[in-house]
Structure 1
Amino acid sequence: MPLLPRRTLRALERFHAARPWDHNAHFHRWILRQLPERVGSALDVGCGSGDLARLLTGRAARVHGIDADPAITARARELTPRATPVTYTAADALTGLGGRSYDVITCVAALHHLPFPEALKAFRDHLAPGGTLVIVGVAREHTPVDHLLGIASIPLNVLMALLKNRGRPAPRPVSMTAPTRPADLTFSEIAREARAVLPGVRLRRRLFWRYTLVWRRL
């Protein structure tokens, strides 16, 4: 949001600090709509506290979540009922995937922490034939379209914060899964590299400073 005055930015930061909401969870239902009704296995890369992994059990018989942070994967295990078919591993997303393949691979706001083409190749190679890869990512604003979408997201972000918190400040800290560092690649760079690795991939700029990527392996 570089086009706003510094005073306005500070006011927005204070507002959202008091009324946080999870921008990534906002896309979870959309992710489910990209998937088949029922699959055998799913992998959530950068699973955090496991919110999406648990949702994926509605589509997959087995779900595995992987995250580089041992503390957050421990929290995911605590939040997941014992009978839920979800397992978690604290490991690097590229070296910890093992030799298994999955019918579904998801990755939400984690890809910009990884070497981009290498991560896409790893996801591709671990996706079973007929499988679906769904990514919600973060890109660096660069073009006028990027900045316009960012500006349009500002009032919507305020509205969502009010709706999610029913107009009141949050009574206690809310666990968030927002990115911890800015993205390096622009959307155009992401699209160019993704098309080189994943022929037929579909990408789209989104509101709330996100983009989406969907690819189905033949």
Structure 2
Amino acid sequence: MTSPLHRALRALDRFHSARPWDHNAHFHRWILRQLPARAGNALDVGCGSGDLARLLAGRAEQVHGIDADPAITARARELTPAAVPVTYAVADAPAGLSDGPYDVITCVAVLHHLPFAETLKAFRERLAPGGTLVVVGVSRERTPVDHVLGIASIPLNIVMALVKNRGRRAARPASMTAPTRPADMTFPEILREARAVLPGARLRRRLFWRCTLVWHHR
């Protein structure tokens, strides 16, 4: 016989399956607030269906999105009007990154799939002086602060699902079709390794099981 907790978790999972919302897209407006009003070239690593890349096109003269998944990259091209200055390529990071330099680099919920320090070094090398790197990532829960934020995110997650879907069942967004895997680095580990590569980087734990990094190339 299943426990009440197990039944509650299964019910919660069914609820979110019927009312999905993109936790990563929730941070897109916050990302824009970290960036200058105008920029030259921008790079979105792990662009998925191109939602963030198209938003960046409102700030940058040219945006380049890369993703390792050919199907989702093709979908990004389909969703992007010809007049929007965004190009897409199928490429792996960090090996497949073009030389740049870029005034803006963004990376959302992708870094935990990649070699962490090596990828940050590649971003650093491709970021133009005065440029901005913004990362939204995930970390493995371990500390009491992690667990408190995780617990606090559960009721907020339900509220957001209802608000974004207006209480009705909804189809899963194209941006949520990419395969994911759990993070293997804790936030303290991320903090330590990131600051070793990017001195002065600002990192924070966030609600909805995310953490953020902002670094300005002086």
TM-score (norm 2): 0.96
Once residues 106 and 192 of structure 2 are traced to their aligned partners in structure 1, the CA distance between those partners, rounded to angstroms, is 20
1:30–1:209 distance in 2 versus 1, CA, 3 Å = same
| Mapping of residues 177-216 of structure 1, within 5 Å | 177=176, 180-216=180-216
Which residue is 1:123 aligned to? Answer: 123
Which TM-score applies when normalising by structure 1?
A: 0.96
Cα separation, 1, equivalents of 2:179 and 2:9: 18
Q: Which runs of 5+ in 1 are unaligned?
A: none
The answer to whether the 8 Å contact 1:109/1:179 transfers is no
Which runs of 5 or more residues in structure 2 are unaligned? none
Residues in 1 aligned to 2:94 and 2:151: alpha-carbon distance in whole angstroms: 34
After superposition, the C-alpha distances for 1:121-173 in whole angstroms (9 at most, x for unaligned) are: 01111100000000000000000000000000000000000001101111x34
CA distance in 2, matches of 1:115, 1:24: 20
Query: Does the aligned pair in 2 maintain the 1:103–1:131 contact within 8 Å?
Result: yes
What is residue 50 of structure 1 aligned with on the other side? 50
SS in 2 for 1:28: helix
- Counterpart position of 1:174: 173
Is residue 205–residue 211 contact of structure 1 (8 Å, CA) maintained in 2?
Answer: yes
Equivalent residue, structure 1, for 2:70: 70
1:20 to 1:64, Cα distance in 2 relative to 1, 3 A? same
- SS at structure 2 position matched to 1:203: strand
- Count of matched residue positions in the alignment of Structure 1 and Structure 2: 214
Greater Cα offset, 34-43 or 96-105 = 96-105
The alpha-carbon deviation at position 41 of structure 1 amounts to: 0.6
Q: Deviations over 1:84-132 (max 9, x none)?
A: 1000010111111122210000000000000100010011111000000
- Determine the C-alpha separation between the residues in 1 that align with 2:20 and 2:88: 26
For 2:94, what is the secondary structure of its paired residue?
A: coil
Which contiguous aligned blocks of 4+ residues in structure 1 show a shift greater than 4 angstroms?
Answer: none
Q: For residues 166-213 of structure 1, what are the alpha-carbon distances to aligned partners after superposition, in whole Å with 9 as ceiling and x for unaligned?
A: 01111x343243761000000000000000000000000000000010
2:130 is aligned with 1:98: no
**Whole-Å separation in 1 of the counterparts to 2:124 and 2:172:** 37
Question: CA 1:79–1:110 in 2, change beyond 3 Å: closer, same or farther?
Answer: same
Q: RMSD value over aligned CA atoms?
A: 1.2
**Matching of residue 11 in structure 1 with residue 19 in structure 2:** no
